[in-house]
Amino acid sequence: MTFQRSLSPAFFFRTSAALLVAAVLAACSGTPKPKPAELPANVAVQGVREAWSVRIPKVEFPLSVDVSGDMVAVAGADGTVVMIDARSGQEVWRGSAGAPLAAGVGSDGTLAAVITNQNELVALQGGKVLWKQRLSAQSFTPPLVAGRRVFVQAADRTTSAWDGQSGRRLWAQQRTAENLVLRKPGVLTAVDDTLVVGVGGRLVGINPANGTSRWESPIAAPRGTNDVERLVDLTGTVSRVGDTICARAYLASVGCVDATRGTLVWSKPAAGAEGIGGDDRFVYGTEENGNLAAWRRGDGERAWQVERYKYRTLTAPLAVGRSIVFGDSTGLVHFVSRDDGAPLNRITPDGSAIAASPVVSGNTVVVVTRNGGVFGYRPE
């Protein structure tokens, strides 16, 4: 990892204002990114039909779309939160958190939770604000809503649980905070009765009832001589199959952990910035240079790699049906084969960049763009 590349808007510095300004200036003076690779003409091997679309305000923050059953929760940068029935594309409700967002959205299909840029955790139900609570620090990770509770991971390494209906804080676990953390969504998910959180380069299993740790397993270990080089935060979407959960360490590695025992299954070097997807055969990831890669789920060996999307900024991939689906910064959504990454189709929702990793509800793939387009697609 080079020092210049690391100083980017993806980082949150908890140090002096002078250092922050220096970092921004260093990022601005960096070498421009190479031009995205030209793509050949699209040949639609697989049909993809647009089933519905919904409009929300522009998405200018790191949005994570949440799916619970048939319900899809999305949010705009201004604080608008919308619950959509993925079967019909109808809005179930629309509400506002009352302030621009820093992270979101988490949902169980009824309750939705977001975090504002004023460090407030806001819960909405039926389009109305149910409660608000002030957090101890900024958060860039969408809340997890599960078991009638809302779980939050803050940038100061505090993990907390809140009662979903009253907003009462139930517990908080404080970890030693690093000097530097990513200004990107981290890992916060559930595996059976265990809350799984990314802390630095480790996956940590927590008892959701009281916040005590059950296990820890490293995906990546810090290396280097300064805070930038030692940064190994886990980031983005994860892939779970059975009791195995696989995750990405930013620009460092991809690895899988047995969540019942808390033991590392494998970890392999990988230079990516977004989360991962997967199925029972492979773990799929997009790399910083635009490559698409697949690792064998059992042992982590590289199965295949595609360089067709060189220098395109890609979202995390979604495995659905026969396809892997991912978006890019030019506004394209790509459908490729799970077996070898061969192109199956590509579509352009509204011409603006794809703002979040695609998600699936039933037979509907949901895509959100920077301009606030929410689209439901049904692959053949």
pLDDT one-digit tens code per residue, 239-262: 999 999 999 999 999 999 999 999
Closest C-alpha to 106, from 81, 127, 87, 126: 81
Are 171 and 145 in contact by the 8 Å Cβ rule? The answer is no
Question: Is 175 found in the same domain as 100?
Answer: yes
User: Which residue in this structure is represented by tokens 């609570």?
Assistant: 133
Question: Is 98 found in the same domain as 44?
Answer: no
Domain housing 162: 63-183
The answer to whether the peptide bond before residue 74 is cis (omega within 30 degrees of 0) is no
How many separate domains does the chain show? 4
Q: What six digits make up the tokens of 169? A: 């804080």
Burial category of 208 from C-beta neighbours within 10 Å (exposed 0-12, middle 13-18, buried 19 and up): buried
Question: Is 72 found in the same domain as 138?
Answer: yes
Give the residue from 239, 265, 291 where a domain finishes. 265
pLDDT of res. 228: 78
C-alpha to C-alpha distances, 51 to 91, 99, 298, nearest whole angstrom: 14, 31, 36
pLDDT of res. 167: 98
Find the radius of gyration of the CA atoms of the chain.
20
pLDDT one-digit tens code per residue, 302-350: 999 999 999 999 999 999 999 999 999 999 999 999 999 999 999 999 9
User: Which residue in this structure is represented by tokens 């990314």?
Assistant: 198
**What is the pTM assigned to this prediction?**
0.91
Question: Is 366 found in the same domain as 313?
Answer: yes
Question: Is 84 found in the same domain as 6?
Answer: no
Question: Is 147 found in the same domain as 47?
Answer: no
Give the residue from 265, 287, 305 where a domain finishes. 265
pLDDT of res. 127: 97
Q: Collapsing DSSP states into helix, strand and coil, what is residue 33?
A: coil
Q: Which residues of the chain have pLDDT under 70?
A: 1-31
Q: What six digits make up the tokens of 322? A: 């026969």
Question: Is 197 found in the same domain as 166?
Answer: no
Question: Is 142 found in the same domain as 203?
Answer: no
Question: Is 242 found in the same domain as 232?
Answer: yes
DSSP conformational letter for 282: E
Q: What six digits make up the tokens of 267? A: 């970890």
Q: Which strands, in side-by-side order, build the sheet including 282-286?
A: 276-278, 282-286, 292-296, 302-306
Question: Is 299 found in the same domain as 380?
Answer: yes
Q: What six digits make up the tokens of 326? A: 């991912």
- The answer for residues whose C-beta is within 8 angstroms of residue 201's C-beta and 6 or more apart is 218, 219, 220, 221, 222, 232, 233, 234, 249, 252
Give the residue from 136, 158, 183 where a domain finishes. 183
Q: CA 100 to CA 229: how far, in whole Å?
A: 31
Question: Is 370 found in the same domain as 294?
Answer: yes
**CATH number for 217:** 2.40.10.480
**CATH number for 171:** 2.40.128.630
Other Cβ atoms less than 10 A from the Cβ of 55: the count is: 11
Burial category of 230 from C-beta neighbours within 10 Å (exposed 0-12, middle 13-18, buried 19 and up): middle
Question: Is 69 found in the same domain as 55?
Answer: no
**In b/e form, how buried is each residue of 83-114, taking b as 16+ CB within 10 angstroms?**
bbbbbebeebeebbbebebbbbbbbbbbbbbb
